[in-house]
A and B are shown apart, each in its own frame.
Chain A
Amino acid sequence: MIEFDLTMPRLFSEGNGTLTVQLTLETGSLTALTGPSGSGKTSVLRLLSGLDRPSQGRITVDGDIWLDTEQRIKLPPQRRSVGYVFQDSALFPNMTVRENVAYAAPAGQASLIDELIDVTGIRPFVDQKPVRLSGGQRQRVALARALVRRPQLLLLDEPFAALDADSSQALRTVLLDLHRQWGTTTVLVSHYETDVRALADRVVQLQQGRVVRDTTVADWPARSGERIERIHFEEPTQQWVIDTATSQFRSSNPDWQRFSVGDQIRIQ
């Protein structure tokens, strides 16, 4: 069981505020963190992994203390049993796919490396450098690499953000298979309702650093209509990006330019 109670001043999309999140994650659960851009989802992952330090907080994992600001305990990321899949994959370009996966593997774990390579379906390009891979392939390599130390906690930061529909589906299948086989306690940050419904068993919705809803995925209300809070065109991906109170949506459909802030949209 993973218990955490974290507080950190932070700049949110609506301005300065304080992130305050207190949650308990059952072992083997897959919890989705949702919410609009800048609501603090990634910050929670960074605090759990030790990449950022909260002003106050405590994290315990199966009774082990990873962080306790009162006792001045703060394990660095290296000493926390986490696997972190970054939004940009963060694969090392100087290494092949196999070398990326094997980089952090404990000695004598060749069979585990091979198992992960097979489960994630990356064997066909195992000797290639990451630069030659598609976004979906890169994320599968990042997932294999994150699991090679058999972490107690797997953190997935928008793994589907830059993927097309087919790649997303492939990654979802791999994630689901791995989660069923390995049962690693997982926190998934995603804007995409489809991914959350397909993968998570619990949904925690954040808004300006606070938990505004914590429910099972079965009780998570289906979207009806939502008001657009922000819309902009993202040059690097050539996509329109719409933020609502709970989600972010992207499309390269030129018709989206007719939307404006305040419009109600219905997501199918």
Chain B
Amino acid sequence: MPIDWEPIWLTLRLAGITTLFLLLLGIPLAGWLALSRFRLKPVVEALVSLPIVLPPSVVGFYLLLAFSPTSGVGAWLLRTFDLQLVFSFQGLVVASILYSLPFMVHPVQAGLENLPVSWREASYTLGQSPVRTFWRVLLPNCKPALLTGVVLSFAHTIGEFGLVLMIGGNLPGQTRVASIAIYDEVEQLHFETAHTYAALLLGLSFVILLLVYAINKRVTI
């Protein structure tokens, strides 16, 4: 039986787009969490970390309610942008960003917090703003942490199942990612196809991690 490659490509597309958005969103958030003295910072940290402790079905359930066209947010998105997030690829991207957020934020935040304070202070006494200091001095010295964040976010998105099932269901070409396809094939007793998808995911994940560890060893600041 020929292999349907679509779930694999869809998985990679989802993981790639999610990681890109997480870079844009996670780096400034990690920077703010690492450097801010804001009193309510623990509240933000707890919210960011929630997906780590919650079952994916809980996150999926509340996102399903929020994205539903009958809810306030869902109805507004539909009315304003003609965007329906439930059972769509865009919905999967939004859900994956929220669900994988701590996997980008935590390593980058830890990397920034471990840098000597004197680098930041030296930059300030040289007349440089906190923003320029962040982009020119702090972030470039966190390359291993950044790489870890990218890989963890990408790998975590590849491995998502419960959340995808809740938000996206099983629509071929739209939401039927590899993990869903495996489950679907097993339910239909197509073990050979399920095995092909599973082996591909296994191999892919291993190669990604192997590359990262190999690159991380060579990364010099």
A33 to B13 alpha-carbon distance, docked (Å): 61
**Pick from B122, B137, B140, B141: contact of A86, CB under 8 Å:** B122
How many residues on chain A are close to B (CB under 8 Å)?
A: 27
**CB <8 Å contact, A90 and B136:** no
Answer whether A49 and B125 are a contact pair too, CB < 8 Å, given A90-B116, A90-B119, A93-B221: yes
Answer whether A94 and B141 are a contact pair too, CB < 8 Å, given A78-B129, A88-B118, A103-B136: yes
Provide the B19-30 mask, 1 if CB < 8 A to any CB of A, else 0.
000000000000
User: Which residues does chain A contribute within 8 Å of B141, judged by CB atoms?
Assistant: 92-94
**CB <8 Å contact, A103 and B126:** yes
A92 to B140 alpha-carbon distance, docked (Å): 10
- Closest A residue to B136 by beta carbon equals A103
**Pick from B116, B118, B128, B221: contact of A104, CB under 8 Å:** B128
**CB <8 Å contact, B119 and A149:** no
**CB <8 Å contact, A92 and B119:** yes
Q: How far is the CB of B199 from the nearest CB of chain A, in Å?
A: 41
- Closest B residue to A52 by beta carbon equals B121
- Closest B residue to A88 by beta carbon equals B118
**CB <8 Å contact, A149 and B127:** yes
A51 to B129 alpha-carbon distance, docked (Å): 13
**CB <8 Å contact, A83 and B125:** yes
Q: Does B206 contact A (CB under 8 A)?
A: no
User: Which residues does chain A contribute within 8 Å of B127, judged by CB atoms?
Assistant: 78-79, 104, 149
A94 to B124 alpha-carbon distance, docked (Å): 17
User: Which residues does chain B contribute within 8 Å of A83, judged by CB atoms?
Assistant: 125-126
- Closest A residue to B137 by beta carbon equals A92
Q: How far is the CB of B218 from the nearest CB of chain A, in Å?
A: 15
Q: Does A77 contact B (CB under 8 A)?
A: yes
Q: Does A76 contact B (CB under 8 A)?
A: yes
**Pick from A90, A91, A149: contact of B121, CB under 8 Å:** A90
**CB <8 Å contact, A90 and B122:** yes
A118 to B116 alpha-carbon distance, docked (Å): 29
A76 to B116 alpha-carbon distance, docked (Å): 20
A92 to B124 alpha-carbon distance, docked (Å): 13
**CB <8 Å contact, B125 and A94:** no
User: Which residues does chain B contribute within 8 Å of A51, judged by CB atoms?
Assistant: 121, 124-125
User: Which residues does chain B contribute within 8 Å of A104, judged by CB atoms?
Assistant: 123, 126-128
Q: Does A44 contact B (CB under 8 A)?
A: no
Q: Which of B101-144 contact A (CB under 8 A)?
A: 116, 118-119, 121-129, 136-137, 140-141
User: Which residues does chain A contribute within 8 Å of B221, judged by CB atoms?
Assistant: 93-94, 129, 131
Q: Does A116 contact B (CB under 8 A)?
A: no
Q: How far is the CB of B126 from the nearest CB of chain A, in Å?
A: 4
Q: How far is the CB of A10 from the nearest CB of chain B, in Å?
A: 18
A84 to B121 alpha-carbon distance, docked (Å): 9
A165 to B127 alpha-carbon distance, docked (Å): 33
User: Which residues does chain B contribute within 8 Å of A146, judged by CB atoms?
Assistant: 125-126
User: Which residues does chain A contribute within 8 Å of B137, judged by CB atoms?
Assistant: 92, 94
**CB <8 Å contact, B116 and A88:** yes
Q: Does A145 contact B (CB under 8 A)?
A: yes
A142 to B221 alpha-carbon distance, docked (Å): 19
**Could you write out 9 A-B pairs with CB less than 8 Å apart?**
A49-B125, A50-B125, A84-B121, A84-B125, A92-B122, A92-B123, A92-B136, A94-B141, A129-B221
9 tightest A-B CB contacts, nearest first = A104-B126, A90-B118, A90-B122, A94-B140, A84-B125, A77-B124, A93-B221, A86-B118, A77-B125
- Knowing that A92-B141, A103-B126 are A-B contacts, what are 11 other residue pairs whose CB atoms are under 8 Å apart, sorted by A's residue number? A50-B124, A77-B121, A77-B124, A90-B116, A90-B119, A90-B122, A92-B123, A103-B123, A104-B126, A145-B122, A146-B126
Q: Which residues in B have some Cβ–Cβ distance to A below 8 Å?
A: 116, 118-119, 121-129, 136-137, 140-141, 221
